[in-house]
Chain A
Amino acid sequence: MPKLKIASYWASACGGCDVALLDLHERIVDVANAADIVFWPIATDFKYADVERMPDQNIDVTFFNGAVRNSENEHLAHLLRKKSKVLVAFGSCAHMGGVVGLGNLFSRKEIFDAAYTNNLSTENAGLTMPNLETKVPEGKLTLPEFYNTVKKLDQVVDVDYYLPGCPPNPNRIFEVFGAIVAGKLPPKGSVVGASEQTQCEKCERKKSEKKIPGFKRLATAQPDAETCLLEQGFLCMGVATRAGCEHRCQKSNTGCRGCYGPPPGVYDQGLKALSAIASVVDADDEATAKAMVDAIPDPARYFNRFSIAASPLHRRSV
């Protein structure tokens, strides 16, 4: 059997997804035995031009991590789509927009203002802003265009599979790789490397009928290690998040952040979690409920931390 040709690309992301691939440790050797890496900017020296020269569908599987934030991301998304048989949205940003998608709560202008003018550590009296083109004596310099709105990968190109997580758990990555090698992939469009059920299914914490007496934060309180975090009043997105990460957060006594995305059939992970949690707050009147909810400092970013770009509302309108 000829060796598989695989690629990994890092679009608008933090780099954690590529590190997760490296976290396969010695198993990376098994990967290398079964596949040739034909494009992986972080680890191998290939240029975009090398990819452009490839015949279409030359790559068997591309793992695309990161959201589509700028024109360079978008160009590579189209390019890799064309050159790959199977395109996998890898990690939360490609899957749902991820943390990068929180940018959709602001406009490009607001982001640029914060980054280049209105902050404590920048002096920019001349109000210099990134330009698409800048003339210098040597010629013309260009920058990719920064879009107003972040998109997840499948809002730009057709995607075959989604491998969630921020970053994906290396064990899941290896399992999915095994499935690819064995040709045992589920139907196109599936989420792979994650369970159909939510975190609660296998969470070892003790659960009872849910009633939340009030919300607490890790900054000021310490949860016990045995009881369901939500029942203790610590926000946990586990109720509306697929399992697969091996409960990394809950095991370190922290509520799930939701990076594995919603279970099947859920359109908006944040709204679902919000509606579930709102349903079980122990308040009989509006004033009590309001006081409780006010203890959650930033609901939009809490509940849709990874999924703003994927939610039906998509962005704040500005």
Chain B
Amino acid sequence: MSNKIGVYVCHCGTNIAGTVNIPELVEFAKAQGDVVVAREYKFMCSDPGQALIQEDIQKLGLDRVVVSACSPLMHEPTFRGACEKADLNRYLFQMANIREHCSWVHVDKGAATEKAKAQLAGAIGKARYLAPLIPKKVKVNPATLIVGGGIAGIQAAIDIADSGRKVYLVEREATIGGKMAEFDKTFPTLDCAACILTPKMVQVGQHPNIELLTYADVEEGKGFVGNFEVKVRKKTRYIDEEKCTGCGICQEKCPYKTASEFEHGMMKRKAIFMPFPQAVPKVPRIDPNTCVYFKTGKCKACVKVCEPQAIDFERKDEIVDIKVGAIIMATGYKLFDAGKIAPYGYGKYPEVYNSLEFERMVSASGPTGGDIKMKSGEKPKSVAIVHCVGSRDRRHNEHCSRVCCMYALKFAHLIKERCHEATVYNFYIDMRCFGKGYEQFYQRLLDEEVRFVRGRVASVSDFALDESEKGKLVLRVEDTMVGETRRIPVDMVVLANGLEANADAAKVGRLFNISAGKDGFYIEKHPKLAPVSTATEGVYIAGACQSPKDIPDTVAQASAAAAQVLSLMSRGEIEVEAATANIHEELCSGCRVCNTMCPYSAISFDDDKHVSRVNDALCKGCGTCVAACPSSAIFAQHFTDQQIFSEIEGVLHDVRA
């Protein structure tokens, strides 16, 4: 037990001092047993603040340090470092969070000060029983797993692979490319999407350091930073990828067709198919739901024409075990289902399109060869683009999807370009054109005489009130600029659907211990200062899986995540948490309650000695097994019962009789 505790109370400017009576708190600290010095300072985390602590450790021989300031998530590493510089083991440091847990959430100064006292007394209580711990070092596996092969995954893969390190890129679909592969042009520069994306896709496909696993799902993840083990299921394509040359003749000869997913049902594809001609890898797959061989056992047209004999109807899913040091999640987003807003008539009226369908319509390789035309074959004379479909809408998604205003402008431009005569309306709430060159693009569209109506569209219907509305789709909208409700008849309606998290985002995130917010997007470690890191060390996020974003932001994030990974890799080894669980073997009765508990698979059972063991390189100190162990044979270092009870007694200092 300690007898020389130093206590340091931080003002955090007025963040804490504005609500907590600091001098009173310092006097309180001085009165606590074992406290030999208590000081206050404006910013404890600053250099002079840290110097105060270091000087006291050296001059007064402090053996425990307590800082009463912000969240340990924020500055525990800072103060631990300061202690260590003065030769005090970092685990002899304890923090009381009187900012997030106190001053920021209270207004009553008196009550907040009392609460801060309780928190501080708790920290002092725990500090008394702290014990020094020595962190271990483990080697970092230099390979990286990237989940998702959209532009985010592609960019990160190339950045990392170019440094000479191995990358496994796992993509759920049969090709990489993500949503960007569906676009014709990209805002605001109107670059041809394929021209900038395809070379990168090919580069990924051919890179000696990238192992591409497409049509594959991650199924299991375990381990920890530097040493993850992941199980990947490669769903069967019924094709031997090694043998297939990608010649495409099977696809040509296959007699059976169904609606193409890539073309959103606006075109047909074969039963053996590649999603689109530039797919990477250039290997088709057989869709057993369409292939007649799987139904009748007959046909084999593809087998007959396949020279390298790559087709194998018996082929099963393959499980691939990979070991990596870091993981980047780049699983992107899904489009809001416009069918959920019935008054917009999506799915009811053939001339109401969602945005990805429209992307295919304007694509030169799409169903119409890039012509904008109605199902009748005629060019539309008027088109309405409806903004914020499922975005900024409390019934669906509260968030702004960030890209819709811009792609709506892009659509308006392409319509003007291809149907010169057409009147184009944009129905918007606010125009959000915040990126580089975006406002200029908006100005350009104003000059192109696109009409902007400010108001959320109420409904789309084919109910005509007069001749001018007959055969048209009529939008009802409150024009908030004019201040009245309007009916606007058009030939075609394009919905600017918002971006949502993938339906399975939370589930996939759980495999790697990262969490998703209420909206399903992955949560970054810090919204400003650690936007691509997560609460799980060694797992990073990039692109639209973190929140809706455009391609420039996605690529920037992907490169940032790659830089984080490379920084980790170049360290070569990392310190692992020393506050791990341990087993008093002489108290372990071998009941095996703990065996299945560990989320990091750190516990094993020794059959000879009849005891359970914790592998402390794998243990993250979460405490699950400690709580479960019915005989208290397992204890958590840095969170022993004695430490916790002493902390509780401190917190209850004024309650105890």
Contacts and interface: CB of A to CB of B under 8 A. Distances in A.
Contacts of B590: 200-201, 207
Contact of A211 (B588, B596, B629): B596
A277 B592 CA distance: 11
B589 interface: yes
A112 B391 CA distance: 65
Contacts of B645: 267
Interface stretch (A70-78, A191-199, A293-301): A191-199
A289 interface: no
B591 interface: yes
A143 interface: no
Contact of B597 (A200, A207, A263, A280): A280
Nearest to B595: A209
A263 B592 contact: no
A129 B657 CA distance: 34
A196 B587 CA distance: 7
A263 B624 CA distance: 19
Given A196-B587, A200-B589, A279-B624, A266 B632 contact: yes
A248 interface: no
A265 B627 contact: no
A210 interface: yes
Contact of B586 (A196, A239, A275, A277): A196
B587 A210 contact: no
Interface string A196-237: 111111000001111100000000000000000000000000
B645 to A, nearest CB: 8
Interface string A254-290: 0000000011111100001101110110000000000
B572 interface: no
A230 to B, nearest CB: 8
A153 interface: no
Nearest to B626: A275
A240 interface: yes
Contacts, number: 83
Nearest to A279: B628
Contacts of B597: 279-280
B596 A240 contact: no
Given A210-B595, A211-B596, A240 B630 contact: yes
Contact of A276 (B605, B629, B635): B629
Contacts of A272: 629-632
A66 to B, nearest CB: 27
Contact of B591 (A196, A210, A262, A266): A210
Given A263-B587, A265-B587, A279-B624, A197 B631 contact: yes
30 contacts: A196-B587, A200-B591, A201-B589, A201-B590, A201-B610, A207-B592, A209-B596, A209-B605, A210-B592, A238-B591, A239-B589, A263-B587, A263-B632, A264-B632, A265-B641, A266-B631, A267-B641, A267-B645, A272-B629, A272-B630, A272-B632, A273-B630, A275-B628, A275-B630, A276-B591, A276-B593, A276-B630, A279-B593, A279-B594, A280-B593
Interface of B: 586-597, 605, 610, 624, 627-633, 635, 641, 645
Given A200-B590, A265-B635, A280-B593, 11 more contacts: A197-B587, A207-B592, A209-B592, A209-B595, A263-B631, A263-B632, A267-B645, A272-B629, A276-B630, A279-B628, A280-B628
